[in-house]
Amino acid sequence: MDSEFWSKDGDRVILVAGDTWFSVHRDALSHHSSVLAGMFDSLPKSPISVCFPCNPPINSTQFLDIDDSPEDLRYILRALLSHGGSLSDQPCVDEVSALARLGHKYQIHSLLDNVAKFLQDHFCTDFNLWSAHDDLVPTGWKPVHAIGVVNIARLLGCPSILPTALAVCCAVNGTEMVRGYERADGTRETLCTDDIARCADTARRLSQGTSAAICHAFATHKESARDSKCSDPKTCGDEMHRLLCAYADTARDRELFTDRHPFRDWKYYLGTRVDESRICEGCNIMLRDRFVERQRELWDRLPAIVGVMVEG
């Protein structure tokens, strides 16, 4: 017997998921899902009496065996019966995954709409909105959980989520990308073989794009000195050359130079060092703007890079 969902009154049905029994009002679920309503209508109408140890018998109740995990079913019941068909304030990846998969299975459209909106708000198509996020994934998630987002996007037919989600998968190390992660019910969430291959190729191309953006920012100081209102072209030119050489020559920085996450803020790469250098304010701004310019171009090409058609 589930301690959270065990109704004792009204026209109820017992949902049996694995070794856990849930007692809920059938009309409350039928209102959200015509699929569940049809399943309930097909159940025998005759009373059934079942005794639990140390409990009185359950009489006149319908029983429905379902092949969902208790963990997934609990998330669905919580959303429908406690949250009015909405997600919790800060949903974990298991909640979002359960609502997407069971919402699709039982055609609970309100849940599917809310899941899609939550994922589209984070794994968005707008570069400015993406850049404003504090992290690659929603609060409390890990980058590897983007694997689940990719699978949800395909399940729900939301291609706009895929480019950003696949780019986040590229930030996951190779072992995690292949093995995926374990869900709350013990099953594993993994990418399909085609998406693993797609991520391997995308990671290389995005790393190359990041390197090109950094080189582009430093490459043409002489031509840009007038536009940047440079106060000391020689000093700024020498400082830029020194910074770029030091960045490329350091083993630690070579890893950053081809970072697997291609859309980090300018300061992550060189912004802090530029601030501490003798480069003037005008050239500092110019470097950042030139880097972001190439970042935006890479972002705009992201659907083509990952091989996903996104309308608009």
Is the CB of residue 106 less than 8 Å from the CB of residue 155?
A: no
122 in a structural domain = yes
pLDDT of residue 54: 44
Percentage of the chain exceeding pLDDT 90: 47
Nearest residue to 137 (alpha-carbon basis) of 101, 107, 93: 93
Look up residue 60 and give its two tokens: 């006149």
Query: Rounded mean pLDDT of 114-138?
Result: 92
Could you list the residue range(s) of the whole structural domain that residue 283 is in?
207-302
Parallel, antiparallel, or unpaired: how do β-strands 12-17 and 20-25 relate? antiparallel
**Quick one: which H or E segment has residue 272?**
helix 272-275
- 170 φ/ψ sector (left φ>0, alpha ψ -120 to 50, else beta): alpha
**234 contacts: CB under 8 Å, gap ≥ 6:** none
- Residue 311 falls inside a structural domain: no
Same-domain status, 6 and 98: no
Q: What is the pLDDT of residue 263?
A: 84
- Which one-letter amino acid corresponds to residue 195? D
Q: Is the pLDDT of residue 260 over 70?
A: no
pLDDT in tens, 276-310: 888 888 888 888 899 999 999 999 999 999 999 88
Q: Do residues 220 and 276 share a domain?
A: yes
Mind listing the pLDDT tens digit for each residue in 57-99? Answer: 455 568 899 999 999 999 999 999 988 888 999 999 999 999 9
Tell whether 217 and 291 lie within a shared domain.
yes
Question: Is pLDDT of 172 > 80?
Answer: yes
Residues 110, 32: Cα–Cα separation, whole Å: 8
* pLDDT given at position 47: 55
Residues 237 and 158 in one domain: no
Each residue's pLDDT tens digit, 233-255: 888 888 888 888 877 776 454 55
For the record, the structure tokens of 115 come out as 């899941």
Q: Which of 191, 221, 238 represents a domain boundary (last residue)?
A: 191
Q: Are residues 145 and 74 in the same domain?
A: yes
Q: How many domains does the chain have?
A: 3
User: Token pair of 166, please?
Assistant: 């696949």
156 lies in the same domain as 234: no
Of 191, 219, 254, at which residue does a domain stop?
191
Between 35-49, 157-171, 256-270, the lowest mean confidence (pLDDT) is in 256-270
pLDDT over 70 (residue 228): no
Residue 80 belongs to a domain:
yes
79 and 54, same structural domain? no
CB atoms within 10 A of CB 309: 8
Helix (H) or strand (E) holding 301: none
Of 35, 67, 99, the residue at which a domain comes to its end is: 67
Distance CA 149, CA 307 (A): 17
Per residue in 35-68, pLDDT (tens digit) is 999 998 888 765 555 555 445 445 556 889 999 9
Beta bridge partners of 278: none
Q: Is residue 107 part of a domain?
A: yes
pTM: 0.86
